Amino acid sequence: MTSSERALAHLPPGTDPPRSLPLLLDRVAEPFRRGAAPEPQPSTGFYTDTTVCIGCKACEVACKQWNLLPADGFDWTGNSYDNTGGLSATSWRHVKFIEQLPGGVLGELLDPGRWLMMSDVCKHCVTAPCQQACPTGAIVYNEFGNVYIQPDVCNGCAYCIAACPFGVITRSTIDGHAHKCTLCFDRQRDGLVPACAKACPTASIQFGPVDELRERARQRVADLHERGVTDAYLYGDRPGDTYSALNSFYLLVDRPSVYGLPETPVNPWLRMKGDYLRAAVSGLVSLAALLAALALAGGPG
Amino acid sequence: MTAPLNADPTQQATIAGYQSRPVTKPPNWHGLVTLDLLVNNLSSGLFMVAVLAELVAPAVFRPLASVAYPLALAWLLVDLVCLVLDLGDPARFHHMLRVWKPSSPMSLGTWCLTAYAAPLTLVAGLSLVPVEWGLEGARRVIAVVGLVPALAAAAYKGVLFSTTAQRGWGDARWFGGYLVNSALVLGAAELLLIGLARGRPQAVELLRVASLLLLPLNLVALGLLLADIRAALTEARGARTFVRVAVLAAAGGILLPLGLVALGGTVALVTAMLLLLLGALVVRDEIVRLPHRLHHRPHAAP
Amino acid sequence: MPGLGTSFGRGAATNYQQDLAHSDCVLFMGSNMAEAHPVAFRWPLKAKEEGATLIHVDPRYTRTSALCDVHVGIRAGSDIAFLGGLVNYVLTHDRWFKEYVLHYTNAATIVEEGFRDTEDLDGLFSGYHGNRRTGHYSAREGQWGYAGAAAAEQAQEEWDEEWTGATPMYRMHKQDLGMHGHSLDSGPTSHAGARQQMTACEPEQHRDLTLQDPNCVFQILKRHFARYTPELVSQVCGCAPEELVRVAELLCANSGRERTTAVVYALGWTQHTTGVQMIRTAAILQLLLGNMGRPGGGIMAMRGHSTIQGSTDLSTLYDSLPGYLPQPCADESHETLDAYIRQEGQTTGYWANFRKFVVSLLKAWYGDAATPDNEFGFAWLPRPDADYSQLPYFDRMAKGEVKGYFLWGQNPAGGSPNAGLHRAGLRQLDWLVVADWFEIESAVFWRNDPAAPPPSEIKTEVFFLPAAASQEKEGSLTNTQRLLQWHDKALDPLGDSRSDAWFLYQLGKRLKRLYAGSTDPRDQPLLNLTWDYEFDHPPRLPDGSLSRIEGEPDLEKVLMEINGYRLDQTDPRTGRPRLVSGFAELEDDGSTACGCWIYSGVFPEPGRNRARERKRGTDSIHPEWGYAWPHNRRVLYNRASADPEGRPWSERKKLVWWDAQARRWVGPDEPDFDLDTPPDYRPPRGATGLDAIAGDQPFIMKPDGQAWLFAPGGVRDGPLPAHFEPVESPVGNLIYPRQPTNPTVRFFEGPLNRIAHTPTLEYPVVATTCRLTEHYLSGPMSRFNSWLNELMPAMFVELSPELAAERGIVHGGWLTVTTARSRIEARAMVTRRLRPLRVAGRVMHQIGLPFHWAFAGEVVGDNANDLTSLVADPNVSMHEAKAFACQVSAGRREGAVPRPTVAPAPWPRTRLPDTPAAAQPEGRFTRDE
Ligand SMILES: Nc1nc2c(c(=O)[nH]1)N[C@H]1C(S)=C(S)[C@@H](COP(=O)(O)OP(=O)(O)OC[C@H]3O[C@@H](n4cnc5c(=O)[nH]c(N)nc54)[C@H](O)[C@@H]3O)O[C@H]1N2
Ligand SMILES: Nc1nc2c(c(=O)[nH]1)N[C@H]1C(S)=C(S)[C@@H](COP(=O)(O)OP(=O)(O)OC[C@H]3O[C@@H](n4cnc5c(=O)[nH]c(N)nc54)[C@H](O)[C@@H]3O)O[C@H]1N2
Ligand code: SF4
Ligand code: SF4
Ligand code: SF4
Ligand code: SF4
Ligand code: SF4
Ligand SMILES: [Mo]
């Protein structure tokens, strides 16, 4: 039992269904209650160095085990060693395998090629479209600056799913709610490292205060360049013109699209105002036309 | 399982990788959402047209009010049912009202619908009481007040769709613009039909002229919208189908009705209005399905 | 592992995994470390960060290759050719570490005149008896011994006479039994008294420090490996000559005084009929480069099961006693203790203490019943009369010669080579006891094997004992770096499940009760066995509550017995015999008891279980983290990390050195040498034991204190490695055309075990089997777990686009693999990670099969081990699952397919009981109502 669990142990279990009207009312009122906001902490995040990932998937399993997530079913995809396909409400970590090997007969001294591996996860965007989208306020920035879906608030409207440029979130059919990486909010509150980072044997997943991580990552890129790995670069370590920085950023050695990441993510909210304007213009023009028509035609009669 | 012997290894289908796959995940919005897009407009459109019509020519339109507003209310209720049922956890629909969050079109929209529902309900109620009770004035005022949320309610869904990361939706700069306009077109059509049913040639005539003016605008809006989503729609459906959809929506859903409206006559008008409805449905359906069509996921979440 | 034992003295990984971080270059060959030892792989990666070069030589491009700087693809089974090429390169380009080789190896030693090399006899060494397909060597007839051993030979003869005129007969007999004690140097005695007789010689007389004598080991070595030119090697292996040269250059550049290279191997080497010799070749290479006994160097055998090292140390093998003492077998020379000691013992080197170890073991086992008069009960030790290693045993079982069997944590029905034959064996039993966590293939073979006859026709009665999981019991594990680590019990086992120790302890007690009072001599071993490991106080769980389990033995008592006692002294603190501080304290007069001499020191005083210690050190050695045998030495033979004068070879690579002031060996690691024998010590004539080892001879287990480039005894298929093809290969032997395969392989041919002998045309594709990170062995520990199954849900075969195209196989579709034994189907993983290779000028194909699937569990599939065969290498009865011949075709096979025996766990939709909402696991999805 972690310390926070012990602290919470006296609370009534959330399982019992409302047996009486008061309980029902309580359930209705529940989402409207507000607690005190916790002390903000320095933002934490992930730096994922894909050049040392050995594709062992320990992160994927550690995540499912810590969070007790169900398996996604047993289908063999044939897409290299990736059989879980992608991130979803029930897979919050996902390891990708990209085979880049030349053909030909052994011993013909061809360029050996590469087998890229990358452990994908929610990017915990500094400005997160999913959070901007959420109409219930279920998605919040927690005290660690992580993007967190409050499972007791989400009503499964699915807008966050449509809003995420990285295809991280889906809606679970088990409970109809949206789920994704919590950045192990519960573990962080107890001063523990996220389960996936803890399990990673090669420190491909590094967890910590983002500023430190960015420092380390940039140093690493410099080192790699020195060693001739000139295609190494950081993805999401700083904000771009169309998107904020990512609190979970990556060291990659090929174009983002190769890893199934958007080349240049765009925050849809950059366009919202303009769209409202167009709608308003169109609306007013149409209304004017309607008025005019009625007035002209109806005038004399 | 044996494939035709194929001596060229480079022709072998091997490991797919990720480049060819869409990055984003569609929200699995389907029929209910399409229906909601339509009835939302049927309600807000009818309300707005009815209000304006009453303002311009009260004598002519008052008699239609007692049908128009209750109908608009009925549409709205259908819409709300769609919205709730489409939630992953309908029992939590009220969570929508936890926060006032204008940055989220869905939140804004929810509040607009709420704000629109109130006057609509009152007006609908009042439209049923005899004029002698002298509440007409109040009804008009409330109705005019209702215009603002009605307009927003008609428009927000378009912006909700265009403010997403989905291919197609995210490109649809003019979706909101199209929807409000389309709402008014549909509203006029509905009221016109009511006029026909109630045998009010004068009202019918006025709305016929209005439609003659609104439809070309509708064509413009549709044009802009199709231009926005052309790329995505072509990718999802192929160039041919795109053209078919465009022609169906524009010619079948707007030009033909326009012609019929210009022609006049009960049969022509009724047909025109039905075609309008059909066209509107087609456009909404194509757009709602777009990202789902683009997305052939190997693994759906359970 | 005789490969290492014969070369260096101890059959275990020489360094520790963390030490790989200190390497300047690591050669992974026959190991897929990133996939099979992912956690340990962080250390080579650390080295890479520091600029080290990582090389992977593997038939497949694996997750390890992906992280290495160089990957060289070779044909499965061609490793000796490749390594031979490296050795040849080092010798011909004069890149060997002169000082090291001269002092620390037997390079200068002169071999008997009569010895003939494979060069002279078309692929055979002198002393061969057999038909070139199967047979054995007599090392003595072949005169593999050191020159000057003649005198000793004489002694041997006389001694033989005392025993029996028929000794040579018995030697033959012993050979045929395939007795191969993982004994002493954990290598077989290739003939009676080999270790002693073959190596006894007058050092000064019979060494040529100029290395010019044509009969000195160095010259023999040069001649022997001269054939392995880059061109010929590439012909055999399918790699480019340049690739071999590149690897050779990297190894040479990263060896010497300032730098060290490590070699990491695992099953890619062991699971061959030439496996022991592959490891021998690596040993020779590492000795020539001077990488043994040094930080960042050595040879890491990456072993498997969590405590497989422990199980060989404590001799779960039929032919050895704890601590690699040879199991006495049923023949005259092992009749009495004295004969046995003389036969297997050694007068020079550390093994001179042999008697102490044996007597102390007998005292530990038979307690007071073991007295000098009854030779401490030596006669009570069972005497195997045949090869009881797994493969021959199941061969007999399949022939109906075995009645009952205990399966304790093993799944031969799925995981063993030619699993079909193993299942046939199980079906022949009257009764079978399976102690396991799951209802594995070996427990449900009578019900769920799609290839088996209906249950009504299977007589075997299966008893299933539910075994406790690791967390539900205490005990120690010995990992691949010889490190004993104790783990406490976290909670009581569920229901009726019990620890393996509980089952065994209770079984022992009941048997003792059953035979109590018997005077029948053959019952005495059982009755005299010390069998008292009761807890002094009822055991408690970590949370302080009393354990629910009754009759659990106190394993710390077992560990104390393993550590050893002085029976003639009592410890005031306990009133029990005093614990010994290490094997140095052991005696041969019965005054000490010790259950496993190499572990002695693990429990030096009451309450101090060193395996349980978890103190971090300042450097990577962490001497107080667990306990490494022998005597907590983390790098074996580390005396070699200093030059002959005892100074570190270099500042960068210092580990232990001679402190002239303190006049003792010092350093961060425990010196693997007599602490106060100075470097300049020279043994007097006729010295025995460690006194016979000079101060500059680091390999103290060896009778001559030197590492063996040339093995006068110890390996049964030759003193030097030579390339032979796997028993099933599509090509003949390009290096020794007259000798396609290892001439000493043992076959078990029969309808259930057909072999397509080399060279085979019928099966043109080379197959190898391998592991995946996602699954564990034959699958019981992973295929009952949905979280792992979703990661690798189905059996597949990796093949090149070229082969796929040739056979019309489509990626993701089905294919069928056929061998002389059986036929299986699998999904096709068409990938460029496998490439066609050009062998002997013609293009050949190679496929990789994971062996994790069978017919029990949540996910099931055809079993790669239905394809593999039962053959035995002469040294350790090892099969050849890593290289065999097959045919590949598109489509599915005919016949029934396996069905899952358990459904995936349904996902709980209710919340965790007694847990507040806020503390519910995030993934435990539940609706409000
Ligand atoms: N995840 C996981 N880890 C494990 C295990 C497991 O089942 N799953 N098993 C444990 C056990 S018991 C053991 S013994 C170890 C085994 O660990 P490893 O021996 O490393 O594992 P393998 O995959 O059997 O074989 C290693 C490599 O040898 C290659 N190979 C095959 N034939 C040849 C050959 O002729 N020459 C060369 N050079 N290479 C060859 C294979 O392609 C493979 O990549 O792993 C242990 N760790
Ligand atoms: N083709 C091919 N075949 C191979 C290999 C290969 O590389 N290729 N590798 C070989 C190697 S190296 C090995 S080690 C063997 C392994 O083959 P096996 O020894 O059969 O290994 P497993 O299949 O894991 O079976 C071990 C069983 O022990 C059970 N078990 C685990 N823990 C405990 C415990 O604490 N108590 C008890 N009573 N049971 C327990 C597990 O549930 C499992 O059923 O496979 C060999 N087979
Ligand atoms: S990646 Fe997607 S889900 Fe994660 S924070 Fe950013 S927008 Fe939200
Ligand atoms: S699905 Fe849940 S989390 Fe996502 S936007 Fe809707 S309410 Fe917010
Ligand atoms: S941080 Fe926690 S929730 Fe997020 S992926 Fe890692 S383990 Fe899963
Ligand atoms: S645990 Fe680390 S190394 Fe393993 S797959 Fe995940 S990120 Fe890669
Ligand atoms: S399973 Fe255990 S032994 Fe194997 S790599 Fe993981 S931690 Fe190490
Ligand atoms: Mo193993």
Q: pLDDT of B209-244, one tens digit each?
A: 999 999 999 999 999 999 999 999 999 999 999 999
Helices (H), A89-209: 129-133, 159-163, 185-189, 195-199
Q: How far apart are CA C140 and CA C112, in angstroms?
A: 10
- Residue by residue, DSSP assigns C420-454 as HHHHHHHHH-SEEEEEESS--HHHHHHHH-TTSPP
Top pLDDT among C167 and C422 is at C422
Q: In sequence order, what are the beta bridge partners of C770?
A: C850
User: By alpha-carbon position, which residue is closest to atom 30 of ligand 1?
Assistant: C268
Quote the CA–CA distance of B21 and B298 in Å, as a whole number. 10
pLDDT at C551 over 50: yes
Chain centre distance of CA C634: 18
Label residue A20 by pLDDT band (50, 70, 90). confident
For residues C825 and A261, what is the distance between their CA atoms, to the nearest angstrom?
A: 36
Which range, of A85-94, A106-115, C65-74, C361-370, averages the lowest pLDDT?
A106-115
Q: For residues C586 and C566, what is the distance between their CA atoms, to the nearest angstrom?
A: 8
Average pLDDT over residues B53-66: 93
Whether the per-residue pLDDT at C614 is higher than 70: the answer is: yes
Name the pLDDT band for C346 (thresholds 50, 70, 90): confident
Mean pLDDT of the A163-178 span? 93
Predicted local distance difference test score (pLDDT) of residue A12: 38
> For atom 4 of ligand 6, which residue has the closest CA?
A56
Q: Could you tell me which of C253, C192, C293, C343 has the C-alpha nearest to residue C69?
A: C253
Q: CB atoms < 10 A from the CB of C523, how many?
A: 16
Q: Which residues, at least 6 apart from C249, have a Cβ–Cβ distance to it below 8 Å?
A: none
Please say if the pLDDT value at position A154 is more than 80. Answer: yes
Structure confidence at residue B141 (pLDDT): 95
Using CA atoms, how far apart are residues C618 and C610, in angstroms rounded to an integer?
A: 18
Please give the average per-residue pLDDT across C500-514, as a whole number: 97
- Mean pLDDT to the nearest integer, C106-120: 95
pLDDT at B68: 97
> Packing angle between helix B31-56 and helix B175-198, nearest 10 degrees?
60
Q: Measured between alpha carbons, how far is C532 from C554 in angstroms, rounded to an integer?
A: 9
The one-letter amino acid code at B111 reads W
pLDDT given at position A18: 61
Closest-CA distance of chain B to residue A3, Å: 30
| Nearest ligand, measured from the Cα of B25 | 3
Find, among C256, C241, C207, C5, the residue nearest to C106 by Cα: C207
Kindly report whether the peptide bond that precedes residue C630 is cis, defined as omega within 30 degrees of 0.
Answer: yes
Confidence of residue C166 (pLDDT cuts 50, 70, 90): very low
In this predicted structure, the answer to whether residue B300 has a pLDDT above a threshold of 70 is no
Give the residue-averaged pLDDT of C769-776.
98
Ligand 6 lined by A188 (C-beta under 6 Å): no
Is 70 exceeded by the pLDDT of residue C200?
Answer: no
- C-alpha to C-alpha distances, C261 to B252, C55, C533, C653, nearest whole angstrom: 78, 11, 46, 11
Indicate if the pLDDT at residue C204 is higher than 70: no
Per-residue pLDDT at C927 exceeds 50: yes
Residues C685-692 have a mean pLDDT of 88
Centre of ligand 4 from the C-alpha of residue A74, in Å = 28
d(CA C661, CA A57): 53
Counted residue by residue, chain B has a size of: 302
Residue A11 banded pLDDT, cuts 50, 70, 90: very low
Determine the Cα–Cα distance for residues C190 and C301; give it in Å rounded to an integer. 24
Confidence bin at C318 (pLDDT 50/70/90): confident
pLDDT (tens digit, 9 = 90+) per residue, C557-584?
999 999 999 999 999 999 999 999 999 9
Q: Are C394 and C432 in contact (CB under 8 A)?
A: no
The closest-lying atom of ligand 1 relative to the alpha carbon of residue C59 is 42
Chain length of chain A: 301
Task: Indicate whether B203 pLDDT > 60.
Answer: yes
Range of lowest pLDDT (A7-21, B106-120, B219-233) = A7-21
Q: Is any Cβ of chain C less than 8 angstroms from the Cβ of A64? A: yes
**Which pLDDT score is estimated for C385?**
87
Among B120, C766, C16, C838, residue whose Cα is nearest residue A109? C838
Continuous H helices in C51-149: 63-67, 79-92, 98-104
Q: Shortest Cα distance from A295 to chain B (angstroms)?
A: 6
A36: confidence class by pLDDT, cuts 50, 70, 90: confident
Residues of C with Cβ-Cβ distance to A83 under 8 angstroms: 790-793
User: Residue B223: enclosing H or E segment and its boundaries?
Assistant: helix B201-247
With an 8 Å Cβ cutoff, is A80 touching chain B? yes
Task: Assess whether pLDDT exceeds 70 at residue B8.
Answer: no
- Asked if residue C697 has pLDDT above 70, the reply is yes
Relative to beta strand C404-408, strand C431-436 is parallel
Does residue B246 have a pLDDT over 80? yes
Q: Centre a 10 Å sphere on the Cβ of residue C544 and count the other Cβ atoms it contains.
A: 6
Closest CA to C136 of C927, C835, C746: C746
Do the bridges between strand A233-235 and strand C576-579 make them parallel or antiparallel, or are there none, so unpaired? unpaired
Query: What integer is the mean pLDDT of C795-815?
Result: 96
pLDDT band at residue C178 using 50, 70 and 90 as cut-offs:
very low
Q: How would residue C190 be classed by pLDDT, with cut points 50, 70 and 90?
A: very low
Q: How far is the CA of C75 from the centre of ligand 1 (A)?
A: 15
CA distances (Å), C705 to each of C197, C209, C690, C868, in order? 15, 16, 9, 41
Cite the DSSP H helix spans in chain A.
3-8, 21-29, 58-67, 129-133, 159-163, 185-189, 195-199, 210-226, 272-298
Q: With 0-12 CB in 10 A as exposed, 13-18 as middle and 19+ as buried, what is C675?
A: exposed
Percentage of residues in chain C with pLDDT exceeding 70? 93
Look up the ipTM and state it.
0.94
Please say if the pLDDT value at position A15 is more than 50: no
3-state secondary structure of C65: helix
> For C821-840, what is the mean pLDDT?
96
3-state DSSP assignment of residue B49:
helix
Name the residue with the closest Cα to ligand 2, atom 15.
Answer: C415
Structural contact between residues C309 and C12, judged by C-beta atoms closer than 8 angstroms: yes
Mean pLDDT of B172-179: 97
Q: What is the mean pLDDT of residues C816-844?
A: 96
Query: From CA C374, how far away is CA C357, in angstroms rounded?
Result: 17
Per-residue pLDDT, C345: 83
Closest Cα to residue C409, out of C501, C538, C276, C507?
A: C501
Q: Are B56 and B190 in contact (CB under 8 A)?
A: no
SS3 B29: coil
A273 Cβ neighbours under 8 A, 6+ residues apart:
none
Indicate yes or no: CB of A17 within 8 angstroms of CB of C929. yes
The residue type found at C109 is: T
pLDDT at position C837: 93
Q: How many A from CA of C310 to the centre of ligand 2?
A: 15
Asked whether residue C611 carries a pLDDT value surpassing 70, the answer given is yes
pLDDT band per the 50, 70, 90 thresholds, residue A181: very high
- pLDDT score of C865 more than 90: yes
Give the per-residue pLDDT at C202.
Answer: 61
Backbone dihedral region of C369: left (phi > 0), alpha (psi from -120 to 50 degrees) or beta?
alpha
Report yes or no: A191 at the C interface, CB cutoff 8 Å.
no
pTM for the predicted model, two decimal places = 0.94
* Whether residue C522 has pLDDT greater than 60: yes
- Give the Å distance between the CA of C61 and the centre of ligand 8: 21
pLDDT tens figures, C873-922: 999 889 999 999 999 999 999 999 999 999 987 777 677 777 777 777 88
Mean model confidence pLDDT for chain A: 91
Residues in chain C within 8 Å Cβ distance of B2: 808, 890-891
Rounded to an integer, what distance in angstroms lies between the CA atom of residue C805 and that of residue C808? 5
Question: What does residue C631 show for φ and ψ, rounded to 5 degrees?
Answer: 50, 40
**Ligand 7 centroid distance, CA of C916 (Å):** 33
- Separation CA C11–CA C312 (nearest Å): 10
pLDDT at C196: 54
Distance of alpha carbon A234 from the chain centroid: 18
In the block, tokens 């012909």 appear at C235
Inter-chain CB proximity A175 and C923 less than 8 Å: no
Closest CA to C39 of A188, A68, A120, A62: A62
In total, chain C counts a number of residues equal to 929
Q: Mean of the pLDDT values across residues B284-302?
A: 74
Distance, in Å, from the CA atom of B95 to the CA atom of B100, rounded to the nearest integer, reads 11
Q: What are the two backbone dihedrals, phi and then psi, of residue C857, each rounded to the nearest 5 degrees?
A: 125, -175
Token readout for C444 is 């449900």
Mean pLDDT of chain C: 92
Burial class (CB in 10 A: 0-12, 13-18, 19+), C910: exposed
Angle at the Cα of C494 from the Cα atoms of C488 and C500, rounded to 5 degrees: 60
Alpha carbon C356 to chain centroid distance? Answer: 25
Share of chain C above pLDDT 90, in %: 84
Q: How far is CA A172 from the centre of its chain?
A: 15
Report the DSSP beta bridge partners of residue A45. Answer: A208
Q: What is the mean pLDDT of residues C827-834?
A: 96
Range scoring the smallest mean pLDDT among A6-10, A97-101, A218-222, C833-837: A6-10
Residue B80: how many CB atoms within 10 A of its CB?
A: 19
Q: Name the most confidently modeled range: A71-80, A118-127, C298-307.
A: A118-127
- pLDDT level of residue C929 (50, 70, 90 thresholds): very low
Residue C191 clears pLDDT 90, i.e. is over it: no
Ligand whose nearest atom lies closest to the CA of A185: 5
Window 109-128 of B, Cβ < 8 Å to A: 110
| A:B CB pairs within 8 Å | 280
> What pLDDT does C910 receive?
72
Cβ–Cβ gap C805/B91 under 8 Å: no
pLDDT digits over A254-285, tens only?
999 999 999 999 999 999 999 999 999 999 99
